[in-house]
Amino acid sequence: MTQLIEIACDESGSEGENLMEAAHCVFSHASVNLSVGEAEAIMSDLACRTKSNARELKSKVLLKRANQRHLIELLRPDGPLAGRANIYLADKSYFVVGKIVSLLIEEDAHARGLNITAHEREIANQLFDLGPRALGEVNWKRLLIGFNNLVRTKKRSDSMHVRFSDFVALLDDIRLRSHRAPVSEILALMWNAREHARQFEDPPESLLRQLEPIVPTMNWVATSWRLRLGDVPIAFIHDEHWALNPETTELLIDVAKARTIIGGVVMPAVDLRSITLVDSKSDPRVQVADILAATGRIVGENALQGDTSGPLVDSVKPFLDFHGLWSEKSPLGSLIPPEATAHLSRESVV
């Protein structure tokens, strides 16, 4: 029998379903294919180099300017993590735009017997890249914040609770402010699909948290490891996360078995056996993932501010997942080196 491979994971920048008014604009998820012994050696070496006596060396210590050289050393091309780690980045604002398309526009198209699944990303890219200029930054943020606050499962106090009627009024106001035809057309599609937003005013407890980035992230990360490792059974060992409840983990395991299409290429099914949550203090592999996730988030956030160069950025690039969640024109895309997709070919995955 093929041996089960355990992939240890952690995230950085998770603030629940509060995406538009969060402290961090990037969600980062890291995963590593290491044995416990290998991870212990890495963490012991880092603790020695940074002179840390803490029970668990946290990423904030390594990200201090004085210690970044140790992080860069860990990420060197011939280092212990080469080819054995993955960092997935998601632009939270773009994630919200994607949900506008999938939860409103795509749902309305489906109700009318149309299938626009293959065009969802294209629509999201167009809205995200042109929206701020077409509407102005203030109105653009009003739109995304209003949608975010309506759809989030955990509602705010009554004074801050966005109701369905509030969102419709907001959308009615903003759709008339667009100065670009492509954005006006997408806003018209949103307006025609507005009734589909009513379900989020008082969602049932069983409704999947649509705005939690970790769910679609883990779905893709499973596929990403399948592309690297081949057809082998895998299990995720993940730091404790409130959104990864039994219902969600069971859904993720089921979805992994399905074949999806990315960029016209059929992705293989993933033999994902389990998702186990642990306290990071008990597993050094998760501690390594924690360090990588935080490093990826910092690099991603700096990139969105225009900083896409430097020793730390160059060290992180080879570990970034090529299929992260950002718009077509995002600076995040410029971080992905051409060789990042070398393992992706029609022959290897179909």
Per-residue tokens: 176: 């008339």
Pairing of strands 26-32, 5-12: antiparallel
CA atoms within 13 A on the CB side of 224: 27
* Cα–Cα nearest to 283, from 30, 37, 13: 37
> What's the pLDDT score for residue 345?
43
Task: In whole angstroms, give the CA distance from residue 135 to residue 176.
Answer: 9
> What's the pLDDT score for residue 155?
56
Within 10 A of 240 (CB to CB), how many other CB atoms are there? 11
* Cα–Cα nearest to 226, from 195, 255, 192, 196: 255
> What's the pLDDT score for residue 26?
98
Task: In whole angstroms, give the CA distance from residue 109 to residue 335.
Answer: 34
User: What is the residue-level pLDDT of the chain in tens, covering all 350 positions?
Assistant: 579 999 999 999 998 888 999 999 999 999 999 999 999 999 999 999 999 888 889 889 999 999 999 999 999 999 999 999 999 999 999 999 999 999 999 999 999 999 888 889 999 999 999 999 999 999 999 999 999 999 987 655 444 567 899 999 999 999 999 999 999 999 999 999 999 999 888 766 555 578 899 999 999 999 999 999 999 999 999 999 999 999 999 999 999 998 777 766 788 999 999 999 999 999 999 999 999 999 999 999 999 999 999 999 999 999 999 999 999 999 999 999 776 654 454 333 32
Which residues are registered as beta bridge partners of 30?
10, 87
Chain-centroid distance, C-alpha 94: 10
Read off the pTM: 0.92
Give Cβ neighbours of residue 207 (< 8 Å, ≥ 6 apart): 153, 199
| Burial of residue 114, with CB atoms counted within 10 A of its CB: 0-12 exposed, 13-18 middle, 19 or more buried | exposed
